[in-house]
Chains A and B, each alone.
Chain A
Amino acid sequence: MRDLTESLIELIRRTSTDLSPDVQQSLEQARDREERGSAAQSALITILDNVELSRKNSTPICQDTGTPIFYVRYPEGWSTRRLREQIRSAIAAATKKSYLRPNAVDSLTDKNSGNNLGDDAFPTIHFEEVEGDELTVELMLKGGGCENVGAQYSLPNSQLGAGRDLSGVRKVVLDAVQRAQGQGCAPGILGVSIGGDRGSSYYASKEVLFRPLADENANPDLAKLEQRLTDESNQLGIGPMGFGGKTTVLATKITGRHRLPASFFVSVSYMCWAHRHRKLTVRGEEVSYE
């Protein structure tokens, strides 16, 4: 089996230092929308200057390079044990090169491992065998500030008057945005999962963040709710960094999971403006990045 370690280091470098064009474009539109000379616009100008500088110098866009979350889709014949080893050594090497910050802290001893490697869930790696002969590795870096403002609701929620339907989903998601204020590094991107158990629901709310910013949900009801939640979040006026302004959320992505009759969870993963995600594809000898 071929060794992908070098390609994985390159995937990590790109993810940490080179913001994807769809997120950058969305931030540029936000900058042009905000009032001229406002704190909101000034924050977005700084953000975009930083995006360019990070790309030019191959330095992290944000110092919190987060929990690296990998999704590996591999054709038959690849060893997931070896792929795991290669991903872990790529993480350690990328940390040495300062593309990543050493982030893995033992919760019981408070000791930072120093090389970004923790237990089996740090980095987080999901494997799935797929048909065909193409291997893809998707990587997302999600920092702690935005992770901390994520929220999970169990419906019905009488305080918000939220029942077990899309109207209830709308209310709790807006509540999460309102509570987050600027602390998740607004403007954010909302990943929302309806259903599942507590664990699978949170996972799904992160997975849905891999969707391109501009794509439309195949389910027309969810597509409508996504647009409405983005618009109404922006009406809250929290603005970039919580300074006040027109842009609080850049996009909303919603997915559904089957649930137990007794449970109705809504999970919200808040992604900061520095939505760092990239993809590596291996086709025969050819390696490409997007």
Chain B
Amino acid sequence: MKTLTLPISNEAILDLHKGDPVALSGVMMLGRDTVHKWLYETFVRQTRQPQDDDLEVYEAIKPLLNGGAIYHCGPVVAGLDTKDYRFVAAGPTTSIREEPYQADVMRYFNVKAVIGKGGMGPKTLQGCQDAPGVYLHAIGGAASLIAQTVVKVLGVHKLSFGVPEAMWVIEVKDFPAVVTMDAHGQSQHAVIEQQSKAEFERLLAVPF
């Protein structure tokens, strides 16, 4: 088990390899579908004009993402009425939906770790080499367990996106994950996909 502390240095990233279990600690931000589209269109590509509090939020999250981590997660949060927020359940969501945006977001904001489940594709693998950064796989569905590693909810941006889509800022201690895509171009997902595809072809040829 390797321990990682946010923000993460390039040296620490280059020391990580596909298959390494890690325990991550520090402050990180949640962001999934709406956030990635918003970041990409408003700031990376600038095809959309900033609106409302967009620029304010941008200034607040920039230092968090620089050397930081983005967690694909839509949590169950208690204390919405009192703003005394507490994470009740917070497992990863499927990451592949961010494939069109992720590599550009990593490069633009210097994101070092993308956390989610299910893995990502070749664009993000290239992003991991460029940043350099890693993809950390958390256990899908292990929501109560992972919520226990959230020491504190520090705040939230764009709650107007809805609870599951907002940018929650959390402090975690020993958040458990496995490196499945590293900065050296290695992806466990590419390996399994290739192997299972070959087995599938073999099964297709088996008579009924």
- Residues of chain A having any CB pair with chain B under 8 Å: 39, 42-43, 46-47, 49-50, 53-54, 57, 59-65, 98, 100-103, 105, 110-112, 114, 144-145, 148, 160-161, 166-167, 170-171, 174-175, 178, 181-183, 185, 232, 235-239, 241-244, 272-274
Contact (Cβ within 8 A) B141 A239: no
Q: Write the B173-208 contact mask toward A (1 if CB under 8 angstroms, else 0).
A: 000101010000000110111011101100110001
Q: How far is the CB of B24 from chain A (nearest CB, A)?
A: 15
Q: How far is the CB of A96 from chain B (nearest CB, A)?
A: 9
B67 contacts partner chain A, Cβ-Cβ < 8 Å = no
Contact (Cβ within 8 A) A244 B144: no
Q: How far is the CB of A243 from chain B (nearest CB, A)?
A: 7
B residues 143-196 touching A (CB-CB < 8 Å): 143-148, 161-165, 176, 178, 180, 188-189, 191-193, 195-196
CA distance A52 to B78 in the complex (A): 20
Of the stretches B8-16, B49-57, B85-93, B122-130, the one at the interface is: B85-93
Q: How far is the CB of A240 from chain B (nearest CB, A)?
A: 9
Query: Which chain A residues lie closer than 8 Å to B145 at the CB level?
Result: 46, 49-50, 53
B112 contacts partner chain A, Cβ-Cβ < 8 Å = no
Q: How far is the CB of A202 from chain B (nearest CB, A)?
A: 20
Query: Which chain A residues lie closer than 8 Å to B93 at the CB level?
Result: 64, 144-145
B residues 67-124 touching A (CB-CB < 8 Å): 73-78, 88-91, 93-94, 96-97, 117-119
B142 contacts partner chain A, Cβ-Cβ < 8 Å = yes
Contact (Cβ within 8 A) B119 A242: yes
Task: Tell me the interface secondary structure of chain B in the complex.
Answer: mixed
CA distance A15 to B88 in the complex (A): 16
Contact (Cβ within 8 A) B117 A145: yes
Q: How far is the CB of A41 from chain B (nearest CB, A)?
A: 12
Contact of A63 among B21, B74, B96 (CB under 8 A): B74
Total B residues in contact with A, Cβ cutoff 8 Å: 52
B137 contacts partner chain A, Cβ-Cβ < 8 Å = yes
Contact (Cβ within 8 A) A237 B144: no
Q: How far is the CB of B193 from chain A (nearest CB, A)?
A: 6
Contact (Cβ within 8 A) B118 A59: no
B34 contacts partner chain A, Cβ-Cβ < 8 Å = yes
Contact (Cβ within 8 A) B203 A47: no
Query: Which chain A residues lie closer than 8 Å to B74 at the CB level?
Result: 63-64, 101
B23 contacts partner chain A, Cβ-Cβ < 8 Å = no
Interface centre among A64, A102, A272, by most B CB within 10 Å? A64
B26 contacts partner chain A, Cβ-Cβ < 8 Å = no
Query: Which chain B residues lie closer than 8 Å to A54 at the CB level?
Result: 89, 143-144
Known contacts A47-B139, A144-B94, A243-B180; 17 further A-B pairs (Cβ under 8 A): A43-B139, A61-B143, A63-B76, A63-B89, A64-B74, A64-B91, A64-B93, A101-B89, A102-B163, A145-B93, A174-B203, A178-B197, A183-B118, A241-B117, A241-B137, A244-B192, A244-B195
**With known contacts A39-B19, A183-B118, A59–B199 Cβ distance under 8 A:** no
Contact (Cβ within 8 A) A112 B163: yes
CA distance A190 to B192 in the complex (A): 20
B140 contacts partner chain A, Cβ-Cβ < 8 Å = yes
Contact (Cβ within 8 A) A112 B203: no
Q: How far is the CB of A23 from chain B (nearest CB, A)?
A: 11
Contact (Cβ within 8 A) A243 B89: no
Contact of B192 among A42, A148, A242 (CB under 8 A): A242
